[in-house]
Chain A
Amino acid sequence: MIKMLSVKGVSSGYGKLLAIHDVDINVKKGEVVVLIGANGAGKSTLLRTISGVLRPSKGQIIFQGRKINGYKPHSIVKMGVVQIQEGRGILARMTVKENLEMGAYLRSDKGAIEKDLVQTFEKFPHLKDRLSQNAGTLSGGEQQMLAIGRSLMARPQLLLMDEPSLGLAPVIVEFILETIHDLREKDEYTILLVEQNANQALDVADRGYVLETGRIVIEGKSQELRDNEKVQRAYLGKTIRSREN
């Protein structure tokens, strides 16, 4: 398979404080790769560094053969890397429709955008009835659907998802993970996924990395991670987590 993203020896953080150290990860075209780690391990920091929100202090990020670190987020979106923020990043004072339109901000193919909107409504029928509603009034689950739908409106080559199940009821978590599964199977999206629900995330992922205090400590196929004793103890136990934003 073709290598889509490679992160090579990247260290990054906030000001002088580094939150990730010498991180190496790869994502191939068509894969779903999951990033597992405890709170504060640096998962979001890694995604933010890939999407250009943070600049790495060391290392390289290569996307489709091109070095992308050093570019601003809007340029990286243009190259095809789209991040769904932790906490969803909904534009609360704009309507659902406007949020979806903003997803296609860099596109000008009006006809195709309309078609993609229709597809989005097929995936998330909930959204269709709420088009003219302010997005801030949606429930948490609906907001996450909107966030995913909006990111797809950009027709991304690589989708970065930061804890899409955060703070959602189990049924909705199930639905979101199913959606991710479909995105990969039916629509052939490539996805780098951050998840705390390691169990379910490994169900939809091909491979995974475990991040501990800013370093990759374990990597492997989903099944290998499942069988790993340390992973079982730390991430596959019955730890139910719920947290807002």
Chain B
Amino acid sequence: MIFQQLINGLMLGANYSLVAIGYTLIFGVLGLLHFAHGEVLMAGAFMGFYIILWTDLPLYITLPLTMIATGALGIIIDLLAIRPLRKDFHLAPLLSTIGVTIILQNLAVKLFGGYGTRFPDAIKDYHFKIGSLFISSINILTLGISIFLMIALYFFISKTKIGKAMRAVSESHLTAGLLGVNVDWIVLLTFGIASALAGASGVMIGLAFHAISPFIGLTFALKGLVVMLLGGLGNVLGAMIGGLILGMAEVLAIVVLPTEINLQDIFSFGIMILILIFRPTGLFGTRITQG
């Protein structure tokens, strides 16, 4: 029972990680809390929904297509809502991302309705029985995809030239520019990558929970924030591990403290408050972008 819950927790947590990585990457390069990041995830869930519904393409095509589309959405958000304000006082871009949140959410309600939508089964869900355990193949698959994406990202930022430029920009725009890095371009790319990860997460959440709504962004955005704080601002490795920890902790909290009310969220945000009080730099320190 506990083991089964742990798999669920890891699956949930890996999605928190993907969201938190996006936050932390963007925070790294711009020092900005990108409020609309959860809405990008929501947009990804709906894009995946319609791709599956209309085209019946297999998941291994749907997922990359969605990532490209949400990546583009992220880039547009930077170009239209953030870049023009970057030189203004520092709250302006933050407020602007809140504006984007409101726009995207209302647009989604208008287009898709305010109620939950059943997410189509793009892949068949098998339930393995190992001993007394039931394990869902979708959970294993989404966990596998998330971990693959995280490893790929980690390789990208620690080993490739452009990944290193991204870390340089997250240390200092001035220094990076003087080394020949086109800082604006790297910031755009960062938005693209962060948003592509959020889009992938949106599709996987749709698959795993079988339902999406215009409001799923908020839940995952808040959890992503908790994880970013847990892992340390700007710390990519911290976000990865932090998400898995939070996911498992939440699921275990349900097992250990069975009640009628939703203790899960109280638990998560309780953790956030404790971290802010006792370890404001997160469990793994702040802004060590490499790890």
Contacts and interface: CB of A to CB of B under 8 A. Distances in A.
Given A51-B178, A72-B177, A105-B181, A93 B164 contact: no
Nearest to A77: B180
Chain B interface residue number, banded: 20 to 34
A220 interface: no
A91 B288 CA distance: 11
B110 interface: no
A87 to B, nearest CB: 10
Interface residues of A, number: 25
Nearest to B161: A105
Interface of A: 51-53, 72-74, 77-78, 82-83, 85, 89-94, 98, 101-103, 105-106, 150, 154
Contacts of B164: 94, 98, 101-102
Interface in B145-173: 161, 164-165, 167-168, 171-172
B92 interface: no
A105 B161 CA distance: 7
Interface string B59-74: 0000000000000000
Contacts of B178: 51, 53, 73, 77, 82-83, 85, 89
A239 to B, nearest CB: 29
Contacts of B183: 74
A82 B177 CA distance: 10
A150 B168 CA distance: 13
Contacts of A154: 179-180
Given A72-B177, A98-B164, A102-B164, A91 B182 contact: no
A52 B183 CA distance: 13
A77 B290 contact: no
Contacts of B175: 85, 89-91
Contacts of B171: 91-94
B177 A93 contact: no
A72 B176 CA distance: 12
Interface string B262-291: 000000000000000000000000011110
Task: Tell me the dominant secondary structure on chain B's binding face.
Answer: helix
B174 interface: yes
A243 to B, nearest CB: 19
B172 A91 contact: yes
B181 A93 contact: no
B56 to A, nearest CB: 43
Given A85-B175, A90-B175, 4 more contacts: A91-B171, A93-B288, A94-B290, A102-B179
8 contacts: A74-B183, A78-B180, A85-B178, A89-B172, A91-B168, A93-B171, A94-B167, A103-B179
B28 to A, nearest CB: 10
Contacts of B179: 77, 102-103, 105, 150, 154
A236 B176 CA distance: 35
B172 A93 contact: no
A154 B164 CA distance: 16
B180 A74 contact: yes
Contacts of A82: 178
Nearest to A101: B164
A53 B180 contact: no
Contacts of A52: 177
List 10 A-B pairs, minimum CB-CB distance, nearest first. A73-B177, A77-B180, A106-B180, A89-B175, A105-B180, A74-B182, A91-B171, A74-B180, A102-B179, A83-B178
Interface core residue of A53, A85, A94 (most chain B CB under 10 Å): A94
A105 B183 CA distance: 13
